[in-house]
Structure formats: structure tokens, C-alpha cells
Structure 1
Amino acid sequence: MTTNKPLSGLRVLVVEDEYFVAQDVAIALAQCGAQIVGPVATLPEAMELAREPLDAAVLDINLRGMLVYPLADLLASRGVALVFATGYGAAAIPARFEHIRRCEKPVEIGEISAALFPGGLFCSSALRS
């Protein structure tokens, strides 16, 4: 991997119901080399895409009134790296997800990539959403 494309070859699912936020996250991750799956805005769409091979996922918690936790459970059971990109505080997230990093909106892509890949993959492209 090159330093300017640290996420090269990694498949990242983007689940976000705010169109512009979803596009910003997807574009920024793609610029870091990730292959974007989605973005999708609903839990049923996300559950369908979760059947595909994935390396990581960026999840908003509340998708048009539906909580993303069933998807997070599924992906976590498969060993997919997860990050919650949300306006929800830590207290609103169930204890079973306390090990999953939470990036508060507005988020920066560097924060997301560091949360997903703490082993050193880092993308410096800024994202404001």
C-alpha cells in the first residue's frame, strides 16, 4: 500500500441516511483507496449488502428511525472492522458495542480510518460533514 492510498484494496460499507454526509464519507474513503460498498440509507439495504465480503463498515446508528444494531451484530460476528459515525453519545450505545469506536459528527476521515484500522492505516484527507 502507498502512503497516499492507505486503504487500497479494502472494501468498506458506508451506511448513512443523510445523503450529503454519505457521499462525503464515501468520496473521502475512496480517495484513500477504499472500494466503497454503498452508500446505503436503510437497514434492509445495508443488511443485503452485508452478504458481500467486507473489510470494514462506517455506520450511522439511526437510519430513518431504525437502529443499525442488528447490522452491527452481524458484521461484528464476521470480524468486520466497525465504526459508528453518529451524533449519538456513548451512553446511547448498548454495552455490547463498547469496544466499537464512535466518531461524533461532524467527522474527519482521518478519525474514521484510525478507528477502523488502528494498526496504522491512516488517511489524512479531511472530511467535514
Structure 2
Amino acid sequence: MTPRLTGKRIMIVDDEPMIALLLETALADEDCEIVGPFPSVAAAHAAATTEPLDFALLDVNVADGKVYPIAEALDARGIRFLLLSGYGDGDCPDNRSHWQTAAKPFAIDPLIERICTALGTT
């Protein structure tokens, strides 16, 4: 299959090494450039505010708390992202209903589809 995310810069924020590795591998198979993975809000902050990014995958609960400050920074920059949560879809602040969420555990193929759809590469 032809990679659909060639050249796209995608940031990963997840403090679970196996999930971060799974995401890295799946995105590498799609030929994108991976930024991270970062295990915490503090570690991801500089990339979220300064790196050129096309998309981000954000685990809601990371080592130092909720990832919402990273989501806010990306949202302010117009960078699309997907919040991944073990607590089900919709785990985001009430005033941010436009933020996209996905429940953990997730299947890789539908997750990649969602990224491609968001970036218009389907």
C-alpha cells in the first residue's frame, strides 16, 4: 500500500512506552516525520509551541497531568490533533467540544484513517 502521510510532521505525546512505540511504528509505515514521542506536558511544550507540525496524537493523561495545555497551544496555532483517552471518547473540557477524541484501546487502521481524513490525504 502506498503511504498516505508522506512528509507530514506528526507529534506524539504519550507516557506509555509501548503505545508510543506502536504509534511511532504505524506512522513511520505511513512515511511521515515523527516529532517526539514526548512522555509529559513539560517535555512536549516547546515542540507544541514552536515546531512546524501537521498533526498531533495526544494521550489525555500523561506523567505530569492532563495534556490540555498542549492541545490549547496546538489549537491556537491551527494544528489539528486527536486526544487519546483510556476513559472513552469525549474526554475533553466542556468548552472544547470541537476537539477530536478517540478511545483507548484503539485499532491502528481506523486511527490512521482519522489522521488522513483530518489532513485531507485519503
**Fold shared per TM-score above 0.5:** yes
TM-score by length of 1: 0.83
Superposed structure 1 runs of 4+ greater than 6 Å apart? none
Q: What residue in structure 1 maps to residue 115 of structure 2?
A: 116
Matched, 1:81 2:62: no
1:79-125 deviation per Cα after TM superposition (whole angstroms, max 9, x unaligned): 11110122123454212332222111111222223323326535xxx
TM-score by length of 2: 0.87
Aligned residues: 120
Matched, 1:54 2:57: no
- Residue of structure 2 aligned with 1:22, choices 20, 27, 35: 20
Report if the CA contact (8 A) 2:26-2:108 is conserved.
yes
Matched residue type, 1:111: P
- 2: CA distance, partners of 1:121 / 1:75: 20
Higher helix fraction (1 or 2): 2
Matches for 1:6-45 after TM superposition, within 5 Å: 6-45=4-43
- 1: CA distance, partners of 2:65 / 2:43: 12
Q: Secondary structure at the residue paired with 2:6?
A: coil
- For structure 2, the residue ranges without an aligned partner over 5 or more in a row are none
